[in-house]
Amino acid sequence: MAVLFFAQAVLGSQLQIMIVLGGLAGVMLASNPALATLPISLVMFTAVFGAPLASNFMGKCGRRLGFLVGASGGCIGGLLAAISLFISSFDLLLLGSVFTGIYYSFHGFYRFAAADTASDSFRPTAISWVLAGGLVGAMIGSEVVQNFSDFFSPVPFAGAYGVVVLLNIIGGIGVLFLKIPLLPTNNKNLPVGRPLKTIICQPETIVAMLCGMISYGVMALVMTSTSLAMVEHGFTSSRAADVVRWHALFMFGPSFFTGIIISRFGNLRIMALGLLMLGVSCFVAISGVELRQFYTALILLGFGWNFSFIGATTLLANTYRENERAKVQGLNDFLVLGAVSMASFLSGALLNYFGWPMVQIAAMPPLLVAVISLSYLAIYRRGKIEIISS
């Protein structure tokens, strides 16, 4: 867990840098402002199709080798992004985004790696503690953006992308110390894995995947265009980075106690509370574009994501057997990252053509669907308990 926490902190910090600078670098290099968030979207799009492959690769070759492959992709992606700014090439920036997407394909599995060897009772805490490494990552990423963006002045942002290369090297060295046993696929004592269709038809699996998709998608929808919206309304990129930093702090900071709360009050209650905070954040953002409203909305957005996404991850981790985890985790992250990819691309288009309030309005229907699905699962569970009791 210490190694996974370190990896989440060091390697995960590049996500903060990508979120803040991806859109700003896109604005600077793209010929059409509507394509400004395309670098971020391409990271997500690559990760969508890479996640199932990454999961199967780690199922055969182990977590350590998989995370090293991911770090290599992040290293190449940061290098290409830095070069693209020196030569003013939007195409090269997009190519760098593809390699960063390879990194991101593996990144999401840190939380599942934490659950691999954890007991049922400790699993929520293991997942949340590893995700808490993102708190350190948010601090590292924010400092990199603020202190290294102009390192190669007059070329903006290239210095920060250069630091991304170093972060992947340092993080990769840490991953070398990871020891998670490879699942013995030829062990006759293990039960035969069920067909994927059987697993995903379970109500708990459906709700876990759906809520994971929606909570992460809504968060990406709002967060992706935050920096651009703030710059449009007269704030500096440094101030935008600070808002995103506080958002990231509340994305990962609560993780130190989220697992304990889930164990105490149950997944569904905490997921519902998280979805409620996501909804409130949208209403705060619609209410105005003052600095305090950006801060409040993004803090609530991070807190809501933490509760709803960790709850969904924990719920999913209890729906499959040990030798089923690669295919289920791969499908889950394919769907989650697919939602994130579409949301991040839609975010830039909505902001460009309709403005900041429409970004928030677009988030509300999916949140309603998630709440309905949670209500259904609660009723379904209550019905099962009554049948068993009778």
Asked if residue 190 has pLDDT above 60, the reply is: no
**Greater model confidence, 180 or 184:** 180
Question: Residue 26: what pLDDT?
Answer: 85
Q: Highest mean pLDDT: which of 152-166, 192-206, 310-324?
A: 152-166
pLDDT at 271: 94
Q: What is the CATH number of domain 2-180+195-389?
A: 1.20.1250.20
Give which of 44, 19, 69 is closest to 335, Cα–Cα. 44
Residue 371 phi, psi dihedral angles, 5° rounding: -65, -40
pLDDT in tens, 318-372: 888 877 888 898 889 889 988 888 887 788 788 888 889 999 999 999 999 999 9
Distance CA 97, CA 22 (A): 9
Phi-psi region of 355 (alpha: psi -120 to 50; beta: other; left: phi over 0): left
pLDDT in tens, 51-60: 889 988 988 8
Segments making up each domain of the chain, as ranges:
2-180+195-389
How many CB atoms lie under 10 A from the CB of residue 161? 30
Under 8 Å CB-to-CB from 40, ≥6 apart: which residues?
A: 18, 19, 22, 23, 26, 97, 224, 344
Q: Looking at the predicted structure, is the pLDDT value of residue 283 above 90? A: yes
Q: Please answer whether residues 127 and 139 qualify as being in contact, where contact means their C-beta atoms are separated by less than 8 angstroms.
A: no
The 10s digit of each residue's pLDDT in 123-171 is: 788 888 888 888 888 788 878 888 898 888 888 899 999 999 999 999 9
Between 36 and 163, name the one with better pLDDT. Answer: 163
Digit-coded pLDDT (tens) for 214-253? 999 999 899 888 888 888 888 887 788 788 878 888 888 8
DSSP string, 280-331: HHHHHHHT--SHHHHHHHHHHHHHHHHHHHHHHHHHHHTSS-GGGHHHHHHH
Give how far Cα 374 sits from Cα of 111, 305, 370, Å: 22, 15, 6
What's the confidence (pLDDT) of residue 191? 58
CA distances from 222 to 82, 284, 301 (A): 26, 12, 8
CA atoms of 141 and 164, how far apart (whole Å): 9
**pTM, whole model, 2 decimals?**
0.79
More confident of the two residues 199 and 344: 199
Mean pLDDT, range 94-120, rounded to an integer:
86
Instruction: Please determine, for residue 182, whether its predicted confidence score (pLDDT) is greater than 80.
Output: no
Q: 388 versus 26: which is more confidently predicted?
A: 26
Residue 186's pLDDT is what?
44
- Judge whether residue 19 has pLDDT over 80: no
pLDDT of residue 386: 53
Confidence of residue 312 (pLDDT cuts 50, 70, 90): very high
Q: Percent of the chain scored above 90 by pLDDT?
A: 39
pLDDT at 189 over 70: no
Q: What is the model's pLDDT at position 333?
A: 87
pLDDT greater than 70 at residue 188: no
pLDDT winner (highest mean) among 17-31, 77-91, 327-341: 77-91
